């Protein structure tokens, strides 16, 4: 069935309400097993987290029909892509409300193959990152045109792990900025510690501690809570806390954070902050 123009508008309208889903109604279909080495994710960890955070609905589904969309309804289509209205049988709801329609429809932009041919979509198993369409229980809206990916065991396992991390009661909040930072010299030359306090939308405290000890390598730790704990250590890569820091922190320490510090101490604090940023690595580059 060809979609109406209303569906095309809904797909691209940035103001379409996603509709809040109560935490107690979230249902996660997740296995404890790990993907085999041969089934590596096609999405990087940071890309996976970004999509999960945007998606109240994540569905594992098999396409039963696909109709190519052309003309005015394909406006804004990127070169090398074709737009389809697909209907798919939902096999599992990775994230979403307690129940969705067994068959869902949505619009998706799909890359053409190397010869510029339209790919075969029927019977293809996919994972769709989406939000609900108001008043249409049988329709979803992809969070971005490329948020339908072919199912892969590695992606499936990683997405489920990220959903568990995001919905955990102790999930680290987003970072919105830097509060203040200061450096305190120690009693020995080259000794000291820098503390950096981060801002979050929830007001939950997050802080960084960087330690300098004579004859030792510089160390750092991140603390979630009022107590700054050097034993906490840095976060492991490819975890939600790593993502919050690597993808949420500014690349350099803002001057406003050390406005009340002596220039020499402010310079050391900036150096220590740069040390943390280098240790975290670039957002999206974790293995």
Q: What is the CATH classification number for the domain harbouring 74?
A: 2.40.50.120
Residue 172 belongs to some domain of the structure: no
Residue 286 belongs to some domain of the structure: no
Residue 285 belongs to some domain of the structure: no
Is residue 131 domain-shared with residue 197, that is, in the same domain? Answer: no
Indicate yes or no: pTM above 0.85.
no
Is residue 224 domain-shared with residue 89, that is, in the same domain? Answer: no
pLDDT bracket for residue 232 (50, 70, 90): confident
User: Which of these ranges, 55-59, 85-89, 230-234, has the smallest mean pLDDT?
Assistant: 230-234
Is residue 186 domain-shared with residue 223, that is, in the same domain? Answer: yes
pLDDT of residue 128: 98
Please, which residues bridge with residue 128 across strands? 59, 148
Is residue 29 domain-shared with residue 113, that is, in the same domain? Answer: yes
Residue 287 belongs to some domain of the structure: no
Q: Is the pLDDT of residue 68 over 60?
A: yes
Instruction: Please identify which residue in the block is written with the tokens 């406005």.
Output: 259
Domain boundary among 145, 167, 189: 167
Is residue 143 domain-shared with residue 242, that is, in the same domain? Answer: no
Is residue 134 domain-shared with residue 217, that is, in the same domain? Answer: no
Is residue 68 domain-shared with residue 130, that is, in the same domain? Answer: yes
Q: Is there a contact between 78 and 50 (Cβ–Cβ < 8 Å)?
A: no
pLDDT bracket for residue 226 (50, 70, 90): confident
Task: Give the whole-angstrom CA distance, residue 186 versus residue 168.
Answer: 39
Residue 103 belongs to some domain of the structure: yes
Total tally of structural domains belonging to the chain: 2
Residue 98 belongs to some domain of the structure: yes
What is the tens place of the pLDDT at every residue in 148-171? 999 999 999 999 999 999 999 999
Q: Quote the mean pLDDT of the chain.
A: 86
pLDDT bracket for residue 285 (50, 70, 90): low
Is residue 95 domain-shared with residue 196, that is, in the same domain? Answer: no
Q: Is the pLDDT of residue 10 over 70?
A: no
Residue 156 belongs to some domain of the structure: yes
Task: Give the whole-angstrom CA distance, residue 141 versus residue 10.
Answer: 7
End-to-end CA distance of the chain: 42
Is residue 23 domain-shared with residue 159, that is, in the same domain? Answer: yes
Task: Supply the range of the domain harboring residue 91.
Answer: 5-167
Domain boundary among 167, 197, 213: 167
Q: Is the pLDDT of residue 248 over 80?
A: yes
Instruction: Please identify which residue in the block is written with the tokens 């806390």.
Output: 241
Domain boundary among 149, 167, 185: 167
Is residue 200 domain-shared with residue 231, that is, in the same domain? Answer: yes
pLDDT bracket for residue 38 (50, 70, 90): low
**Distances in Å between the alpha carbon of 213 and those of 217, 227, 235, 250?**
7, 21, 21, 26
Is residue 154 domain-shared with residue 251, that is, in the same domain? Answer: no
């Amino acid at each position: 069935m060809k979609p109406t123009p209303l569906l095309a508008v809904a797909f691209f309208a940035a103001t379409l309400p996603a509709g809040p889903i109560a935490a107690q109604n979230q249902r996660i279909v997740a296995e404890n097993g790990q993907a085999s080495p041969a089934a590596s994710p096609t999405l990087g960890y940071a890309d996976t987290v970004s999509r999960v955070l945007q998606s109240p609905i994540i569905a594992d589904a098999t396409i039963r029909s696909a109709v190519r969309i052309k003309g005015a309804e394909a406006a804004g289509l990127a070169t090398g892509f074709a737009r389809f209205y697909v209907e798919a049988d939902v096999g599992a709801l990775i994230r979403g409300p307690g129940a969705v329609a067994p068959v869902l429809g949505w619009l998706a932009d799909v890359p053409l193959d190397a010869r510029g041919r339209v790919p075969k979509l029927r019977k293809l198993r996919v994972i769709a990152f989406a939000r609900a369409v108001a008043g249409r229980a049988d329709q979803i809206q992809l969070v971005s045109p490329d948020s339908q990916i072919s199912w892969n065991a590695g992606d499936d396992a990683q997405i489920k792990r990220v959903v568990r991390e995001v919905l955990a009661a102790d999930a680290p909040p987003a970072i919105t900025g830097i509060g203040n930072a200061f450096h305190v010299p120690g009693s020995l030359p080259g000794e000291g510690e820098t503390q950096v306090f981060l801002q979050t939308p929830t007001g939950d405290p997050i802080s960084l501690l960087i330690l300098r000890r004579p004859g030792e390598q510089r160390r750092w730790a991140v603390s979630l809570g009022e107590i700054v704990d050097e034993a906490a250590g840095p976060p492991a890569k490819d975890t939600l806390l790593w993502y919050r820091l690597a993808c949420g922190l500014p690349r350099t320490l803002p001057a406003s954070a050390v406005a009340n510090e002596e220039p020499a101490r402010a310079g050391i604090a900036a150096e220590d902050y740069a040390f943390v940023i280098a240790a975290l690595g670039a957002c999206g580059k974790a293995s």
